[in-house]
Amino acid sequence: GQQLNQSPQSMFIQEGEDVSMNCTSSSIFNTWLWYKQDPGEGPVLLIALYKAGELTSNGRLTAQFGITRKDSFLNISASIPSDVGIYFCAGQPTTSGTYKYIFGTGTRLKVLA
Amino acid sequence: GAVVSQHPSWVICKSGTSVKIECRSLDFQATTMFWYRQFPKQSLMLMATSNEGSKATYEQGVEKDKFLINHASLTLSTLTVTSAHPEDSSFYICSARGGAGGYEQYFGPGTRLTVT
């Protein structure tokens, strides 16, 4: 199926550093969701974005709905070891009549203590 | 709030048998549920969209006769893998549409299926 371009694919960072990742698409989206998935578990919703330009925070996490409606960004400040996992973006195309989301390819984050 | 459960969390079955996986929204009603399949180190692949009281809509390439989906109530959807084969071994995850705006998807913990 269709997938979003998510980058970087993986990253190793030192504890305490800030992290940035993004998703881009050729289509316009109505909604962006960001998830974190730990091994062997289902994704957990981190942040939901509904309007172009919207900037939303959840603790150390901040996500933005790109002004063009074709991209979204997730930032993690002052990373800690438990931030390790795979982060997925998910976008709902304007043409999605059944609330289907398209998922990004994932960003695998590893934090070095 | 917005908790989704799945049962079983893992299952091992013999080739040729059928396996049923349940997905429940515990504290909200979900008119729409989704079933995904995930291979190791890959993203989630949508298999089908399930609406309460109606037939599921399958994604292209997903065999509807092999992956039977039933959404009998606003809190329960089931996926039955019929005549399972080793290539059906995978991580199956359901999600339910809910949340304040109604556009969020909440995922279950997933079911690891191994077919021997």
In A, minimum Cα distance to B60 occurs at A1
- pLDDT classification of B52: cutoffs 50, 70, 90: confident
- Residue A95 confidence (pLDDT): 66
76-95 of A, contacting B, C-beta below 8 A? 88, 90, 92
Share of chain A above pLDDT 90, in %: 79
Nearest Cα neighbor of A13 from A68, A102, A75, A94 is: A75
pLDDT value of residue B91: 97
Contact B107 A35 (CB under 8 A): yes
Residue A79's φ and ψ, nearest 5 degrees, are -60, 150
- Burial category of A1 from C-beta neighbours within 10 Å (exposed 0-12, middle 13-18, buried 19 and up): middle
Full strand arrangement of the beta sheet holding B19-25: B4-7, B19-25, B76-81, B67-73
More confident residue, A92 or B68: B68
Q: Is the bond preceding residue B8 a cis peptide, omega within 30 degrees?
A: yes
pLDDT at B100: 62
| Distance of alpha carbon B6 from alpha carbon A42, whole angstroms | 10
Tell me what the mean pLDDT of segment B10-38 comes to.
Answer: 94
Mutate: best of A103, A107, A108, A109, partner B, most B CBs <10 A = A103
The single-letter code of the amino acid at B105 is Q
Contacts (Cβ under 8 Å, ≥6 apart) of B55: none
What mean pLDDT value characterizes chain B?
92
Residues, chain B, total? 116
pLDDT above 90 coverage of chain B, percent = 74
- How large a percentage of chain B has pLDDT more than 70? 96
Name the nearest CA neighbour of B50 among B29, B25, B78.
Answer: B78
Residue of B nearest to A108 (CA): B41
The residues of chain A scoring below 50 in pLDDT are: none
Are the Cβ atoms of B104 and A44 closer than 8 angstroms? no
Q: How confident is the model at residue B67 (pLDDT cuts 50, 70, 90)?
A: very high
| Minimum-distance CB partner of B43 among A3, A31, A44 | A3
Q: B69-86: per-residue pLDDT in tens?
A: 998 888 999 999 999 999
Give the one of A1, A43, A48 whose C-beta lies nearest to B59's C-beta: A1
Distance CA B105, CA A83 (A): 21
Confidence (pLDDT) at A93 = 83
Question: Token pair for residue A1?
Answer: 């199926």
Q: Does A41 touch chain B (CB under 8 A)?
A: yes
